[in-house]
Structure 1
Amino acid sequence: MDFGIQLPVQSLSVMFAEPWEADAGPEELLEVACAAERHGFGYIACCEHVAIPRRLATAMSTVWYDPVATLSFLAARTERIRLLSHVAVVGLRHPLATAKQYATLDTLSGGRLTLGVGAGHVREEFEALGVDFDGRGALLDETIEALKAALGEEEFPSFTGERFSFTGLGQRPRPVQRPRPPLWVGGSSPAAVRRAALHGDGWLPQGDPREVLPERIARIRQLREKTGLADEEFTVGAIAEPLYVGTPSWRVGRRTLTGSPQALAASLREYADMGVHQVQVRFRSRSVAELTDQMAAFGQEVAPAAG
Structure 2
Amino acid sequence: MTLPYGIQLPIQSQSTLYAEPWEAAAGPDDLLAIARAADRAGFAYLASCDHVGVPRRLAPAMSTIWYDPVATLAFLAAATERVRLLSHVAIVGLRHPLLTAKQYATLDHLSGGRLVLGVGAGHVREEFEALGVDFGRRGAVLDEVVDALRAALGPDEFPVHHGKLYDFEGLGQRPRPAQPRVPVWVGGSSDAAVRRAALKGDGWLPQGDPRDRLPGRIEWIERLRAEAGIEEPFVVGAITEPLYVGEPAWDVGRRTLTGPPDALAESLRAYRAMGVDQIQVRFRSRDRGELTDQMAAFGTEVAPHI
Same fold, TM exceeding 0.5?
yes
State the partner residue of 1:232. Answer: 232
State the partner residue of 1:5. Answer: 7
> Please, what TM-score do these two structures have when normalized by structure 2?
0.99
Alignment of 1:172-183 (within 5 A): 172-178=174-180, 180-183=181-184
Question: What secondary structure does 1:184 align onto?
Answer: strand
1:96 and 2:103 aligned: no
Alignment of 1:35-184 (within 5 A): 35-178=37-180, 180-184=181-185
Q: How far has the Cα of 1:250 moved from its partner?
A: 0.6
State the partner residue of 2:21. Answer: 19
Q: How far has the Cα of 1:161 moved from its partner?
A: 1.0
Aligned mates of 2:278, 2:130 — CA distance in 1: 35
Aligned mates of 1:182, 1:166 — CA distance in 2: 22
Structure 2: runs of 5 or more not aligned:
none
Q: Let me know the Cα RMSD of the aligned residues.
A: 0.5
Question: Residues 2-39 of structure 1: CA distance to partner in whole angstroms, max 9, x if unpaired?
Answer: 00000010011000100000000000011100000001
1:216 and 2:217 aligned: yes
Question: What secondary structure does 2:46 align onto?
Answer: strand
Aligned mates of 2:275, 2:162 — CA distance in 1: 35
Structure 1: runs of 5 or more not aligned:
none
Q: Which runs of 4+ in 1 moved over 4 A?
A: none
State the partner residue of 1:249. Answer: 249
Question: Residues 164-192 of structure 1: CA distance to partner in whole angstroms, max 9, x if unpaired?
Answer: 111111100000001x2100000000000
State the partner residue of 1:287. Answer: 287
Question: What secondary structure does 1:157 align onto?
Answer: coil
Aligned mates of 1:33, 1:240 — CA distance in 2: 20
State the partner residue of 2:204. Answer: 203
The AA in structure 1 aligned to 2:152 is A
Aligned mates of 2:272, 2:143 — CA distance in 1: 29
> Please, what TM-score do these two structures have when normalized by structure 1?
0.99
Aligned mates of 2:163, 2:202 — CA distance in 1: 20
Question: Residues 89-132 of structure 1: CA distance to partner in whole angstroms, max 9, x if unpaired?
Answer: 00001000000000000000000000000000000000000000
Aligned mates of 2:129, 2:298 — CA distance in 1: 42
State the partner residue of 2:268. Answer: 268
Aligned mates of 1:165, 1:273 — CA distance in 2: 44
The AA in structure 2 aligned to 1:37 is D
Aligned mates of 2:156, 2:233 — CA distance in 1: 22
The AA in structure 2 aligned to 1:13 is S
Aligned mates of 1:167, 1:212 — CA distance in 2: 43
Question: What secondary structure does 2:136 align onto?
Answer: coil
The AA in structure 1 aligned to 2:218 is I
Aligned mates of 1:196, 1:70 — CA distance in 2: 25
The AA in structure 1 aligned to 2:140 is A
State the partner residue of 1:297. Answer: 297
Question: Residues 234-275 of structure 1: CA distance to partner in whole angstroms, max 9, x if unpaired?
Answer: 100000000000011111011000011000001110000011
Question: What secondary structure does 1:286 align onto?
Answer: coil
Aligned mates of 2:97, 2:229 — CA distance in 1: 26
Question: Residues 139-170 of structure 1: CA distance to partner in whole angstroms, max 9, x if unpaired?
Answer: 00110011000000000110111111111111
Question: What secondary structure does 1:27 align onto?
Answer: helix
Question: Residues 258-303 of structure 1: CA distance to partner in whole angstroms, max 9, x if unpaired?
Answer: 0110000011100000111100000000000000000011000000
State the partner residue of 2:277. Answer: 277
Aligned mates of 1:268, 1:170 — CA distance in 2: 46
The AA in structure 1 aligned to 2:281 is V
Aligned mates of 1:7, 1:208 — CA distance in 2: 19
